[in-house]
């Protein structure tokens, strides 16, 4: 199937759902340059292909869609380890879908150079092995939103624990609310996320007071945390309201109420708020 639709400028739709790819070895140039004269281009059924024997997807979508097509949806595509994928989506600016690497590709030079550059489009790179994850990290570092070779809407398809947000007495006041945004934390990945867990981790020398600390349940409208420092009870010092917005942003707004605090503790960090994220539905 190498070069099957290469330079088919008027191609706008492809249905590959009935194609048995289990014995195919070469899909290079398959859609290279295709659809350049079309207003739209959609490829269906690719996500169901058995790609275990494929050894090359070189230039498979290189320059597909040209400058006219605003969105190329391929659904998903699984690429086996050892497969050559150089210039896979070179200059394909409107590609959309999830590409899963099962192992490290044999060759990835310029795989996404100037690819997925049209705003509103996105490619997620998934992985199913440690070697594949290393390759995904390399591809995103080269061609993602802050890529060293070119910048495109190419992201690692993973959700990690967000780094702890340090909460200090000097920060927590009703006039200066603390705002955490899971979307902002993940803007380089472009993955819709929601918060699955919120935890409070006391700082060094601090302990949480059980009677006034509740960070165990979600979803809720508010959580409280009471802390004590070296046996000095500061249970009036707590996060009074924790507002969670799951409407696409997975953001947290902290509105804090602080009790009496000695000057020696002002500005001291009493703990971390740690967010665990998962993919949004």
Contacts of 176 (CB under 8 A, 6+ apart): none
C-alpha R_g of the chain: 25
Helix (H, G, I), strand (E, B) or coil at 243: strand
Contacts of 274 (CB under 8 A, 6+ apart): 161, 162, 164, 165, 198, 199, 200, 201
CA distances in angstroms from 233 to 143, 196, 199, 204, 260, listed in the order given = 52, 30, 21, 15, 11
Is the pTM higher than 0.85?
no
- Closest-CA residue to 103 (of 136, 74, 76, 75): 136
Compute the distance between CA of residue 240 and CA of residue 280 in angstroms, rounded to an integer.
Answer: 27
pLDDT in tens, 119-145: 888 898 988 899 999 999 999 999 988
- Closest-CA residue to 112 (of 64, 159, 70, 158): 64
Contacts of 222 (CB under 8 A, 6+ apart): 240, 241, 242, 243
Residue 66 exposure: Cα atoms within 13 Å on the Cβ side: 16
pLDDT in tens, 160-208: 555 445 555 444 444 444 455 555 455 545 555 666 666 666 666 666 6
Which phi and psi angles does 242 have, rounded to 5°?
Answer: -125, 105
One pLDDT digit (tens) per residue for the chain, 281 residues: 899 999 999 999 999 999 999 999 999 999 999 999 998 888 889 988 999 999 999 999 999 998 989 999 998 899 999 999 999 999 999 999 889 999 999 999 999 999 999 988 889 898 889 999 999 999 999 998 889 999 998 988 765 555 445 555 444 444 444 455 555 455 545 555 666 666 666 666 666 665 555 555 444 444 555 556 565 544 444 333 333 333 334 444 444 444 444 444 555 555 666 656 666 65
Helix (H, G, I), strand (E, B) or coil at 222: coil
| DSSP structure string for 105-157 | -SB-TTTTTT-S-STT--EEEEESSHHHHHHHHHHHHHHSTT-SS---SEEE-
Domain limits, the chain: 1-158, 165-279
């Amino acid at each position: 199937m190498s070069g099957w639709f290469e330079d088919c400028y008027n191609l706008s739709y492809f249905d590959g759902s009935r194609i048995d790819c289990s014995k195919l070895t070469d899909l290079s140039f398959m859609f290279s340059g295709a659809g350049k004269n079309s207003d739209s281009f959609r490829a269906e059924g690719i996500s169901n292909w058995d790609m275990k024997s494929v050894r090359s997807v070189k230039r498979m979508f290189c320059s597909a869609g040209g400058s006219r097509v605003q969105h190329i949806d391929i659904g998903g595509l699984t690429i086996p380890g050892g497969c050559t994928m150089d210039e896979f989506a070179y200059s394909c600016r409107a590609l959309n879908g999830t590409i899963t690497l099962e192992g490290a590709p044999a060759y990835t030079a310029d795989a996404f150079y100037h690819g997925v550059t049209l705003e509103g489009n996105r490619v997620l790179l998934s992985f199913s092995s440690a070697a594949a994850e290393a390759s995904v990290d390399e591809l995103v570092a080269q061609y993602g939103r802050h890529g060293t070779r070119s910048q495109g809407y190419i992201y690692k398809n993973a959700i990690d624990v967000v780094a702890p947000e340090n909460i200090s007495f000097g920060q927590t006041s009703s006039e200066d609310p603390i705002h955490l945004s899971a979307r902002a934390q993940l803007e380089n990945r472009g993955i819709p996320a929601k918060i699955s867990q919120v935890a409070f981790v006391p700082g060094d020398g601090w302990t949480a007071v059980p009677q006034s600390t509740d960070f165990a349940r979600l979803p809720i409208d508010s959580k409280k945390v009471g802390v004590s420092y070296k046996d000095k009870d500061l249970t009036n010092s707590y996060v009074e309201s924790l507002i969670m917005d799951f409407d696409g942003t997975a953001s947290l707004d902290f509105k804090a109420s602080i009790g009496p605090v000695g000057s020696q503790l002002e500005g001291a960090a009493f703990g971390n708020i740690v967010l665990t994220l998962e993919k949004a539905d």
